[in-house]
Copies of this chain bind each other. A is one copy, B any other.
Amino acid sequence: MKNHKTIILSNQEIAPGYYRMRILAPEYQQLATPGQFVMFRVQHTFLPLLRRPFGIFRVGFMPADCDAMPEKEFIEIIYKVVGSGTEIMQELHQGDRIELLGPLGRGFETGDPAEEKILVGGGIGLVPLYMLAEKLVQTSKVRLLMGGRTRDDIITVTEFERLGVETYVSTEDGSLGEQGLVTSVLEQKLAAQPKAAVFACGPMPMIDAVQKICAGYSTSLQVSLEALMACGVGACLGCVVKGAGHSDAEPRYLCSCKQGPVFRAEQLDWSRLEQQDSVCGGCD
């Protein structure tokens, strides 16, 4: 957990509106665990004011090269351009100086190696699952169910395949893989193998459907949630979600940035979580 003043190593569009950014990030190889995130400061001015949270896609290093450059530890993030901050991010170049706070939050628990692992990713929700897959493939069978609206939303799937992950792609418009929702694929898989462990990240309606399906099969589930965040470190209490047993009289809020962003399904109050869908797009 550090605030690095660091630089961008590369920043490339990998699908329409999706960018992959590599950032010099000392110590992350040692510190970061799957499911954690960073708070990225987009500009040195006050517009946009707040840092943006992004899952860590991958941690790596570039070997020392012939220019006598030293070995470089880096992280990669993958982001979708949706608003004021990401619009500026897409214009950033190699060598631009930025600030990076992280690694933050609690990531995924890997659980029993004997269990089959099913990763469910919706669009950009795929991001935090890659590092997890890297770890899980060492001990377990891993499948990835990846869904998106169109084929443009299906990113980096081949990289999962290279890890030895069995991948299933579905798109709502049928432009890639099966036509339909990723949750119907999950339904099929669990019908065949309910003893799997499921890890999901994606839009709230998807997460919600995944939870209902897993609950039906009593399958263990961990989800990574997106909440609005100001600080990322547990100080502002802006990012809370309602925990299991929450009521107005006895509120049980959990901090997404510190106690999450990954939660075991049992930790959460699913009857109220739909409201989380109101992740607001910011005012500007």
A188 interfacial contact with B, CB 8 Å: no
Q: Is the interface of A mostly helix, strand, loop or mixed?
A: loop
A-side interface residues toward B, CB under 8 Å? 45-47, 84
Nearest to A84 among chain B residues (CB) is B45
Contacts of A47 in B (CB 8 A): 45-47
Bound Cα distance from A46 to B47, whole angstroms: 8
Nearest Cβ on chain B to A92's Cβ, whole angstroms: 12
CB distance from A7 to the nearest CB of B (A): 15
Chain B residues contacting A46 (CB-CB under 8 Å) are: 47
| Nearest CB in chain B: distance from A223 CB, A | 35
A48 to chain B, nearest CB (A): 9
What is the CA–CA distance of A45 and B84 in the complex, to the nearest angstrom? 9
Can you sample 4 A-B contacts with CB below 8 Å?
A45-B47, A45-B84, A46-B47, A47-B47
A89 to chain B, nearest CB (A): 14
A45 to B87 alpha-carbon distance, docked (Å): 11
Residues in B with CB closer than 8 Å to A45 are 47, 84
CB distance from A95 to the nearest CB of B (A): 12
Q: Considering the chains assembled together, what is the distance between the CA atoms of A84 and B47 in angstroms?
A: 13
Bound CA span A84–B84, Å: 20
**Nearest-CB distance from A36 to chain B (Å)?**
30
